[in-house]
Structure 1
Amino acid sequence: MDFKIEKYLLRKTDELAFITIKDRGEFHIDGYEIPRGGLDVPIKNEVLVKGIKEKTAQENISLMSIVDAMMYMIGIDSKFKNNCEYIKFLKVFQSKFDLNLKEYMGYMSRKYFDIGEHTSSLIYLKALITIYPEDIDGLYHYAIVCQEIAQGYQKGSDEESMNKFLVEALNKLELITQLDENFALAYYHLGYHYYNQGQYIKSLATWEESLRLGLDDDLVAEIQENIGKMDFKVQYEQGYTLVLQGKSEEGLEKLLPLEEQHSDWWNLLFMIGLAYKNMREFEEAKNYFNKILILKPSQVDTIVELGLCEAATLNLDKSIEYFESAAKLKEDPEILCNLGMAYLNNGNIDDATYYIERAYELDPQDEVTIICLKELNKYR
């Protein structure tokens, strides 16, 4: 199973020490053969320290302590070199001592979650779904704890880490729906993920599926309220999808009715402007792009679109002004190529060369940059 958040857990190995169990030592279970040369097994530092303080370390390192630490290690690093051996050991231990591994890992996860130690809680669940990759309950609770950790990163303004855990939760929730298409709570949570990604049509369909499958009354009311509030966002997505498909007139039929009540929604204004630009109604397009700059003066994509509109009407001096403003905000190969080509078409070979070659330095594999460089070479 693939995990996107493993690097955030690896520091927890600091909580473990390793001891070597010899193949002819005191630790043994009928049905399990320790590899020749012994096996390095983990033990939690707190257990080891307790044993040292009591001067009976070996006696305090019980088989159960090793079992618990093996689970913890598997949960920290799914690719750890001894994991296959640990899983063999755990399954023999389960059968010999009547220990339900799933129940134990679930119990330990809840224990840590209840005291706010969400990372440790996640580690036990990650161990569970590593050993039992199709365990629906394990996958579900793993996704929920990922969401909780993501909220913690959000509060700390760590957007990159937050997104990693949200993607991890999303992937596992989608896996649940593949394994059990009737698991309503997975669809309930997935609806929020799609909604937050701006996939409103998909979010609506997912929430409707969760309602069809059956949710508790309070969740039903919550989802129905969400659906009632998102009609205009579904229409917006339908509209911009049409625009991106080249069906600008059809897209405007969806988008324009939304403007009256959402005149400060810059994404909506942008897609309307893009539709008009695609239809070569440049003055109308510029009108909408300029509305955006009143709301968001540094919106780079909008500034670039204004530059493209001016270039399309051969107002190259104005086009260069916009592209230069955009390049100051974001040194991007596409922006630099637009600026370079505007200079080239305006007869300024030196500035065209500078910006197009700079774009090539930033990304020599970019197809647009390569085309612009070939065009520039015709004039050198």
Structure 2
Amino acid sequence: MNFKIEKYLLKKTEELAFITLKSEGEFQLKGYEIPKAGLDVPIKNEVLVKGIKEETAQEKINSMSIADAMIYIIGIDSKFKYNDEYRKFLDALATNIDIDIRAYAGYMSRKYFDIGEYTDSLIYLKALITMYPNDIEGMYHYAIVCQEVAQKHQKDSDDEAMNKFLLEALEKLEMVVQLDEGFALAYYHLGYHYYNQGQYVKSKVIWEEAQKLGLEPDLMAEVQENIGKMDFKVQYEEGYTLVFQGKNEEGLEKLRPLEEEHSDWWNLLFMIGLAYKNMNEIESAKQYFEKILLLKPHQVDAMVELALCEASSFNMERAIELFETAAKIKEDPEILCNLGMAYLNNGDLDDAIYFIERAYELDPQDEITVACLRELDKYR
């Protein structure tokens, strides 16, 4: 099983020490044979220190202390080099002392979750699903704790970590519903993930499935309210999907009715403008891109689309002005190429060469840039 978040857990290995069990040593476990070269086994630092302080290290560092730390390291690093050997150890221990390793990992996760130690809680759940990848309940709870850890990273303004944990939660929730199509709570949480990603149609479908499967009354009411509030966003997504599919008139039928109540929603205005541009209704398209720039003067995408409209209407001076402004905001190869081609069409070869070659410096693999260079070569 793959995990997206292991690099954020690896620092927890600092909480472990390692001791070596020798094959001929005093420590023996029925049903398990220590490798002849010995085996490095983990011990939590707190256990080691407590044992030393109480001068009862031999009592404290027992088979269960080792097993707990083995589970912990498996949860931190699913590819740790001794994990397979640790699994053999754990299986033998489970038989010897009649303990359910899966239940133990779940218990430890709940223990840490209840005191707000979400990362430790997550580590035990990660160990559980690493060892038992078809444990649906374990995977579901792992996803939920990932969401809790994501919130912590959000509070710490660590967007990269937050997004990784959210993607991890999403991926594991999707695995849950693949394993159990009737897991209503997994659908409930998935709906929020898709909603936050702007996948409104998918979110609505998932939440409707959660309702069919049955939720607690308060969750049912919450989902129903969400579906009602997002209706216009679903219609927007359906509309822009049609535009991207080249079905511009059908897309406008979905998008235009939303404009009256959402006249300051620049994304909506952009898609309407793009549909008109695709239909070669340039003046209508320009009106929408200009509206966006009144709302958001530095919105680069709208600026570029307006410039393209001006260029298609042979208003090269205006197109150049817009492309130059866009390039100052975002030095992007595509923008620079458009600017260069506008200069070329305006009869200014030197500036055309400068901007297109600058685009090539930024990304020599960009297909648009390479095509513009070929076109430019015809005029050198």
Q: How far did residue 193 of structure 1 move?
A: 0.7
Structure 1 segments, 4+ long, off by >3 Å, are none
**Greater alpha carbon shift after TM alignment, 210-219 vs 361-370:** 361-370
Matched position secondary structure for 1:95: helix
Partner of 1:130: 130
Q: What is the CA–CA distance in structure 2 between the aligned matches of 1:379 and 1:58, rounded to whole Å?
A: 85
Q: In the alignment, is residue 80 of structure 1 matched against residue 71 of structure 2?
A: no
Partner of 1:295: 295
Q: How far did residue 299 of structure 1 move?
A: 1.0
Matched position secondary structure for 2:43: strand
Matched position secondary structure for 2:134: coil
Q: What is the CA–CA distance in structure 2 between the aligned matches of 1:212 and 1:301, rounded to whole Å?
A: 41
Residue by residue over 1:76-107, the C-alpha shift from the partner in whole angstroms, topping out at 9 and shown as x without a partner, is 11111111111111111112211111111111
**Unpaired stretches in structure 2, ≥5 consecutive residues:** none
Q: What is the CA–CA distance in structure 2 between the aligned matches of 1:361 and 1:52, rounded to whole Å?
A: 62
- Structure 1 length-normalised TM: 0.98
Read off the aligned partner of 1:156 and give its amino acid letter.
D
Partner of 1:280: 280
Partner of 1:13: 13
Q: CA RMSD in A?
A: 1.1
Q: What is the CA–CA distance in structure 2 between the aligned matches of 1:56 and 1:215, rounded to whole Å?
A: 51
Q: In the alignment, is residue 240 of structure 1 matched against residue 210 of structure 2?
A: no
Q: What is the CA–CA distance in structure 2 between the aligned matches of 1:101 and 1:210, rounded to whole Å?
A: 32
Read off the aligned partner of 1:375 and give its amino acid letter.
E
Q: What is the CA–CA distance in structure 2 between the aligned matches of 1:276 and 1:222, rounded to whole Å?
A: 38
Read off the aligned partner of 1:102 and give its amino acid letter.
R
Q: What is the CA–CA distance in structure 2 between the aligned matches of 1:347 and 1:20, rounded to whole Å?
A: 77
Number of aligned positions between the proteins: 380
Q: What is the CA–CA distance in structure 2 between the aligned matches of 1:289 and 1:9, rounded to whole Å?
A: 46
Partner of 1:28: 28
Partner of 2:169: 169
Q: How far did residue 215 of structure 1 move?
A: 1.0
Matches within 5 A, 1:1-380: 1-380=1-380
Read off the aligned partner of 1:216 and give its amino acid letter.
E
**Greater alpha carbon shift after TM alignment, 336-345 vs 121-130:** 336-345
Q: What is the CA–CA distance in structure 2 between the aligned matches of 1:27 and 1:360, rounded to whole Å?
A: 66
Q: How far did residue 55 of structure 1 move?
A: 3.1
**Greater alpha carbon shift after TM alignment, 94-103 vs 243-252:** 94-103
**Greater alpha carbon shift after TM alignment, 138-147 vs 278-287:** 278-287
Q: How far did residue 63 of structure 1 move?
A: 0.8
Matched position secondary structure for 1:379: coil
Q: What is the CA–CA distance in structure 2 between the aligned matches of 1:214 and 1:117, rounded to whole Å?
A: 31
Read off the aligned partner of 1:297 and give its amino acid letter.
P
**Greater alpha carbon shift after TM alignment, 55-64 vs 137-146:** 55-64
Matched position secondary structure for 1:46: helix
Q: What is the CA–CA distance in structure 1 between the aligned matches of 2:158 and 2:347, rounded to whole Å?
A: 46
Residue by residue over 1:116-146, the C-alpha shift from the partner in whole angstroms, topping out at 9 and shown as x without a partner, is 1111111000000000011001100000011
Q: What is the CA–CA distance in structure 1 between the aligned matches of 2:207 and 2:175, rounded to whole Å?
A: 17
Q: How far did residue 11 of structure 1 move?
A: 0.6
Read off the aligned partner of 1:104 and give its amino acid letter.
Y
Read off the aligned partner of 2:36 and give its amino acid letter.
R
Q: How far did residue 158 of structure 1 move?
A: 2.1
Q: How far did residue 36 of structure 1 move?
A: 1.4
Q: How far did residue 360 of structure 1 move?
A: 1.6
Read off the aligned partner of 2:281 and give its amino acid letter.
E
Q: How far did residue 157 of structure 1 move?
A: 2.5
Read off the aligned partner of 1:317 and give its amino acid letter.
E
Q: What is the CA–CA distance in structure 2 between the aligned matches of 1:58 and 1:349, rounded to whole Å?
A: 83
Q: How far did residue 343 of structure 1 move?
A: 1.4
Matched position secondary structure for 1:140: helix
Matched position secondary structure for 1:288: helix
Q: What is the CA–CA distance in structure 2 between the aligned matches of 1:150 and 1:114, rounded to whole Å?
A: 17
Q: What is the CA–CA distance in structure 1 between the aligned matches of 2:357 and 2:120, rounded to whole Å?
A: 50
Read off the aligned partner of 2:348 and give its amino acid letter.
N
Read off the aligned partner of 1:253 and give its amino acid letter.
E
Q: What is the CA–CA distance in structure 2 between the aligned matches of 1:140 and 1:300, rounded to whole Å?
A: 41
Q: How far did residue 264 of structure 1 move?
A: 1.1
Read off the aligned partner of 2:356 and give its amino acid letter.
I
Q: What is the CA–CA distance in structure 1 between the aligned matches of 2:209 and 2:132, rounded to whole Å?
A: 27
Q: How far did residue 223 of structure 1 move?
A: 0.5
Q: What is the CA–CA distance in structure 2 between the aligned matches of 1:199 and 1:358, rounded to whole Å?
A: 36
Matched position secondary structure for 1:41: strand
Q: What is the CA–CA distance in structure 1 between the aligned matches of 2:194 and 2:173, rounded to whole Å?
A: 12
Q: What is the CA–CA distance in structure 1 between the aligned matches of 2:130 and 2:260, rounded to whole Å?
A: 52
Residue by residue over 1:204-251, the C-alpha shift from the partner in whole angstroms, topping out at 9 and shown as x without a partner, is 110111111111111111111111111111111110001111111111
Read off the aligned partner of 1:170 and give its amino acid letter.
L
Matched position secondary structure for 1:17: strand
Q: How far did residue 59 of structure 1 move?
A: 3.3
Read off the aligned partner of 1:10 and give its amino acid letter.
L
Matched position secondary structure for 1:263: coil
Q: Equivalent pairs: percent with the same residue?
A: 74
Residue by residue over 1:10-66, the C-alpha shift from the partner in whole angstroms, topping out at 9 and shown as x without a partner, is 010110111111111122211111111101111111111112222333332111110
